[in-house]
Structure 1
């Protein structure tokens, strides 16, 4: 990689989360790659800012904050909601003639044309939504036993509700095929985004597709296998091209 700028990996978190899932990734990727978690408004250090539920506002936010950082080779990783965010950003930079990512990695997410079990047809009241989130493993069972003034009701639930609204809006926006290679990653025990359905991201790119499976459920982003897998994919960076994305599915 001598003579080439250090490539960046922008990481987008799942619904209700911040960037803590990516806290240890830089150690795995080493000094020759730069891991850049992207924190959406309305949580953690940006808690005072209004949350985004509109795709147009999301695009404007991402282009404003990340646009100046697209001056060197980069890739995107998005997990669940973050995958839809990464997909949306890739479409936006391409439409505006900006530098496009070398490739996009979409983890634990169904493509927009498939219904998601995380998204109800109509958003229910808080107590029903809380039960759904616990049943799906997004919140601990302790959230069911606390009162309405508890931490899960006051802090977690409003963020997740808005993030799910954003996810629904991004899925509805859909979009045509990307012009960059796509790598889809699925957890072998993920009941929310099963491998056979994650594979259908194949139709969302005209530039090469690959599928990888790793151990874990919907939140495999919290484990150690995913950053190691992505580090391997970046080993050929910045020479990655559509031909460099291996066409066959594989497991690690």
Structure 2
């Protein structure tokens, strides 16, 4: 199979096309996030890897489309996009909500014998770890905004611009509903290795909750803890890129 022209597609964006790269990295954004969040990742890793950032419905240029309020449905919708990318070694990197979508997408691909070679699960507790008191998607607009502010991962200009804020709120609420109502299938385990990455002061994920990703792979597992909160990767981009680069270099060497 050959990879489709992702730049022309709705779901997949290549900011720095690398048609000769030996492997691919697919990036899954967080709740309320968009493909552009991973522009710095693409800039740092291309052309050594073909970096593809995903764009979910209901935001930016896909704002007119209805949001998908279910992690499993999002993973199902992504399969036609991801399957053609498996002609080269495929690595998934998902942050927060994106880690869950990446996990479920990897499960589906593995059923078809086409799974990723590695999953990097960032800023999210393991699929089997739930917090029953989470209800952000049920709050009023001010409550949703307060939650997002507390995580310090959104451009302050968004909060200062009332019109812009109203534009992003539907996607935020929808994504929080997807995350907070998500339940993994009991005994869900991947065949590929998993690396969990987390901030040491993340209110959404304790280190023990991140370590529990080990229960979801039959292969190797690693835990990387960085200084910072839920968006530790924005404050430690060099350290995160070092981890990803080492993995991608190893994949290229084996290709």
Which TM-score bucket, shorter chain as reference?
0.7 to 0.9
Superposed, 1:169-184 pairs within 5 Å as 169-173=181-185, 176-184=188-196
In 2, the alpha carbon distance for the partners of 1:208 and 1:198 equals 15
Cα distance 1:137–1:31, how it changes in 2: closer, same or farther (>3 A)? Answer: closer
In 2, the alpha carbon distance for the partners of 1:220 and 1:122 equals 23
Contact 2:137 2:177 in 1 (8 A): no
- Number of matched residues? 233
**1:117 offset after TM fit, Å?**
8.5
Contact 1:21 1:221 in 2 (8 A): no
- Equivalent position of 1:165 in the other structure: 177
Q: CA-to-partner distance for each residue in 1:32-54, whole Å, 9 max, x for gaps?
A: 21111111111122222211113
TM-score (norm 1): 0.81
**1:102 offset after TM fit, Å?**
0.6
In 2, the alpha carbon distance for the partners of 1:238 and 1:55 equals 31
- Equivalent position of 2:146 in the other structure: 131
- Equivalent position of 1:25 in the other structure: 41
- Equivalent position of 1:234 in the other structure: 248
In 1, the alpha carbon distance for the partners of 2:212 and 2:168 equals 31
- Equivalent position of 1:250 in the other structure: none
Contact 1:186 1:213 in 2 (8 A): yes
- Equivalent position of 2:24 in the other structure: 8
Contact 1:5 1:72 in 2 (8 A): no
In 2, the alpha carbon distance for the partners of 1:9 and 1:238 equals 12
**1:136 offset after TM fit, Å?**
4.0
Cα distance 1:57–1:235, how it changes in 2: closer, same or farther (>3 A)? Answer: same
- Equivalent position of 1:245 in the other structure: none
TM-score (norm 2): 0.80
In 2, the alpha carbon distance for the partners of 1:35 and 1:87 equals 18
In 2, the alpha carbon distance for the partners of 1:200 and 1:150 equals 40
In 1, the alpha carbon distance for the partners of 2:183 and 2:231 equals 20
- Equivalent position of 1:193 in the other structure: 205
**1:206 offset after TM fit, Å?**
0.8
Specify the SS of the correspondent of 1:171: coil
Equivalent of 2:118 in 96, 100, 103: 103
Equivalent of 1:151 in 154, 164, 167: 164
Contact 2:76 2:105 in 1 (8 A): no
Q: CA-to-partner distance for each residue in 1:84-127, whole Å, 9 max, x for gaps?
A: 011010111112x1411111000000113323489328722223
Q: CA-to-partner distance for each residue in 1:157-200, whole Å, 9 max, x for gaps?
A: 21111001111343355651111110000112222212222111
**1:130 offset after TM fit, Å?**
2.7
Report the RMSD for the aligned CA atoms in angstroms: 2.7
- Equivalent position of 1:60 in the other structure: 76
